[in-house]
Structure 1
């Protein structure tokens, strides 16, 4: 029976543990911070739970357009946008309860799979041994899945009260009066969108010329227009130099000397891998200059029998990718059928309002000449269901190869885009043509009908 030791209990670790147990291995998971890792306890699950409340508030704000009114009890009606408030203490209590329940559920599943769970900090002592306290665990296979942590700006140390990382916001009892979000990547944009919907005055500090610099430019433009329409302030080309506490507020100093004052600041300036003090290099595991574990497409490191998965590898830092890396690692290590990680089929989502979902080929690659692709964009303003729901922002974009018409990518900007991207992901993964997508029935009326419409329009260009 193969002995598998996994350091880290996040998605890469717990999914690998289940896969290895299913393949008959003796599995031990060493974890210090709680099963589920940051994805479950401090990142994905908590943030998306908070955003779920923000989504309701966004719908309430726009409900007046659909004819919805609230009765004030005296026979008068009021616009819901001006009469509904959020109790952040209740929201955050629910956030933490759901995260804890999810963690407990994963732990129970691992225990049913007869996976041994050890609480503690593991480190390697050569490629075949993991040390936890006084215990030495012999291993035929080791998986490093230790995740990452928020990057901190020098001179801007969080205090957990006014200067916060995304791991600390769930301790707030009251809604920030004026929240300054430093960083306009995915995390910064998501929290800016959420707190704006919850009722905070939000300032988003972006060092680039637009929000979401790594995402589709058309999608980012839609989101920035929505931000401005809702009163959210975006400071473009404004790099933060420091964030400091001042009484009951904060002051963000920009590199050009300007200052921005607020009640709270949220740092969202990237992540650092949790690879310190693991004895990796001494055990033959190569790291990048940034401290990420170097892996190939089947999650192998440079040390024989040692694999790595998740954010500590720096490969598309998504929970879904971490889980896939972990499963691939165990399949490869234990002799099961293996399909190497194909980044061109990975779907991702930005949980703003509206959401931005993507898969496969990007507009930036096409524009730079890195790939030949045909593209069409269908605005949701043409979609009947969108009109019925009062949705006026967003679009569906499809990419296909010339001549063959094979779908190689897509972008959806819409409410619940995370659900709408799946048919495009299936098309990309299965190498379906635009004709095959177009000939599949969609419900009328539906937002997904715009996916078929985009496919039909691409048929004319082949």
Structure 2
């Protein structure tokens, strides 16, 4: 088989891979993408996008049950669960086919199969275990992503124990649900099922939920979840999971007590593992550290001409990080001298109810890094738009360097904060200080005014509390 020649071959067609391909095509490179399953990867097909469609449905269900608050009444509120799930799948399929369209538009060759390194500058493509194509390129980007971490005794079986995949396409609504792990994925699923009417128990091994967030944000969300009727257990050690009578029982040790929690289904959301197997890394200088490929600031691995991006290349495990890395790597290959990735400028969003968003350092991390800090807070109860919306719960917290006024971090919980965090993201990228933020005019009445007030509060100039 003659190797087909390209300037760049990308293994993996997820957010990182397909964006890198488009960027390379813009640089007039001849590009190939090898994808073994769905264009758009986990994010478009089994992650970010379909979960947001589901969460939108649960938000509507919550609103329908809160109509009296707005002066409305409706009888016999109900939903067709199969239709809710079908809409989520349709949204995912629409976007996945959109990505295929983008590949055609940019004349990117897509190979359907499994890609692996096959010697310097070579990629072997197999389909159903049989050789399908040989590709050659000076530059190869590994963008194979990650999969759910599986704990022994908690292997997803598609019926009683679910990973995110099964949780997205359930056969029926579980009356009782256990969610193990309270990161973004666990908290989003716990929130979705709770707001659709399930009895949910959220179990976290750390001493607080959403452990990567600022401690005050975590505490607020935990309180909100509990108020909504969720049972939250933190500092919990899972001793085992038993399947019985068409359901599951989780044996949990917390606070010196061992309890058995019974449910119809269990979702395991305990982190991810990089897809480093069977991609030809053996015999190369590519280094792997705890299932993730080691890269430098421009995505280069230890092997000349081989790069890695996205979840495969380590945290934060976010689609927008993968996309931006793809652009940086391709721009560097094209000799454009891009800025290296600064992960502290990458916003993180969790779309539970209430929403959570953050960028930069937490207050604790800022202090641990040796900064003297000024901290501002503003509650949404002081914001006219939030009150008018009927969503006044939550607050915004800002962290500044007391000496320089540099914005070190921002942390938000409440209505639509996942849309607003980008304002602080821009501020971080522009290396803005409190002076520019205070001098910026925020429109009224908007939720974004709370962002302004949280800055003013850090400097003793807050206006509306």
> Which TM-score tier does this pair reach, normalised by the shorter chain?
over 0.9
Please say if residues 122 and 278 of structure 1, whose CA atoms lie closer than 8 Å, have aligned partners that are also in contact: yes
Name the counterpart of 1:181: 179
Q: 1:32 aligns to what?
A: 36
Match of residue 94 from structure 2 = 101
Distance 2:92 2:348 in 1: 21
1: CA distance between counterparts of 2:235 and 2:324? 36
Extract structure 1 runs of 4+ deviating beyond 6 A.
Answer: none
Question: Partner of 1:280 in structure 2?
Answer: 281
Classify the secondary structure of the residue corresponding to 1:103.
helix
The answer as to whether partners of 1:4 and 1:142 remain within 8 angstroms in 2 is yes
Q: Distance in 1 between matches of 2:240 and 2:14?
A: 31
Q: Distance in 2 between matches of 1:352 and 1:204?
A: 13
Shift of 1:50: 0.8
How much has 1:229 moved relative to structure 2? 0.8
1:149 counterpart SS class: strand
Selected match of 1:8 from 6, 12, 32? 12
1: CA distance, partners of 2:33 / 2:224 = 44
Give the structure 2 partner of residue 66 of structure 1.
Answer: 70
Q: Which of 228, 246, 249 is 1:248 aligned to?
A: 246
Deviations 1:365-423 (A, max 9, x none): 13435433311111112222222222232111112222432323211111111111111
Indicate how the Cα distance of structure 1 residues 234 and 459 shifts in structure 2: closer, same or farther if over 3 A, else same. closer
Deviation, structure 1 residue 46: 1.2
Q: 1:77 maps to which residue?
A: none
Q: Distance in 1 between matches of 2:325 and 2:250?
A: 38
My pick for the range that moved more, 201-210 or 450-459, is 450-459
Instruction: Verify: 1:20 aligned to 2:24, yes or no.
Output: yes
- Map of 2:270 onto structure 1: 269
Cα distance in 1, alignment partners of residues 418 and 326 from structure 2: 23
Q: Distance in 1 between matches of 2:399 and 2:258?
A: 43
- Select the residue among 46, 51, 63 that pairs with 1:47: 51
**Which secondary structure state, in structure 1, belongs to the residue aligned with residue 165 of structure 2?**
coil
* Matched-pair contact (CA < 8 Å) for 1:150–1:268: yes
Shift of 1:429: 1.0
Aligned equivalents of 1:370 and 1:404: distance in 2?
13
Q: Which residue of 1 aligns with 2:195?
A: 197
Instruction: Give me the whole-angstrom Cα distance separating, in 2, the residues matched to 1:64 and 1:209.
Output: 37
1:244-393 equivalent positions in 2, closer than 5 A = 244-254=242-252, 257-288=258-289, 290-393=290-393
Match of 1:79 in 2: none
TM-score, structure 2 as length reference? 0.93
d(CA) in 2 for partners of 1:297, 1:240: 37
The CA distance in 1 between the partners of 2:448 and 2:159, in whole Å, is 43
User: Which stretch has the larger CA shift, 160-169 or 57-66?
Assistant: 57-66
| 1:78 alignment counterpart | none
Alignment correspondent of 2:146: 148
Kindly report which structure 2 residues correspond to 1:211-226, keeping only aligned pairs within 5 A, or say none: 211-226=209-224
2: CA distance, partners of 1:191 / 1:209: 20
Per the TM alignment, residue 306 of structure 1 is displaced from its structure 2 partner at its CA by: 0.7
Question: Contact 2:366–2:408 at 8 Å: present in 1 too?
Answer: no
Tell me if the contact between 1:397 and 1:454 (Cα under 8 Å) persists in the aligned partners. Answer: yes
SS at match of 2:292: coil
Pair 1:282–1:428, CA change in 2 (3 A): same
Give yes or no for contact 2:177–2:265 (8 Å, CA) kept in 1.
Answer: yes
Q: Deviations over 1:112-151 (max 9, x none)?
A: 1010000111111223111113322111100000000111
Give me the whole-angstrom Cα distance separating, in 2, the residues matched to 1:21 and 1:205: 45
The worse-fitting range, judged by mean Cα deviation, of 190-199 and 59-68 is: 59-68
Gaps of 5+ in 1: 73-82
Structure 2: unaligned runs, 5 residues or longer? none
Give, in whole Å, the separation in 2 of the partners of 1:188 and 1:195. 11
| 2: CA distance, partners of 1:372 / 1:296 | 30
2:164 paired residue among 153, 166, 174: 166
CA contact (8 A) 2:371 2:401 kept: no
Determine the structure 2 residue equivalent to 1:405. Answer: 405
Counting matched residue pairs gives 449
Q: What SS class does the counterpart of residue 168 from structure 1 fall into?
A: helix
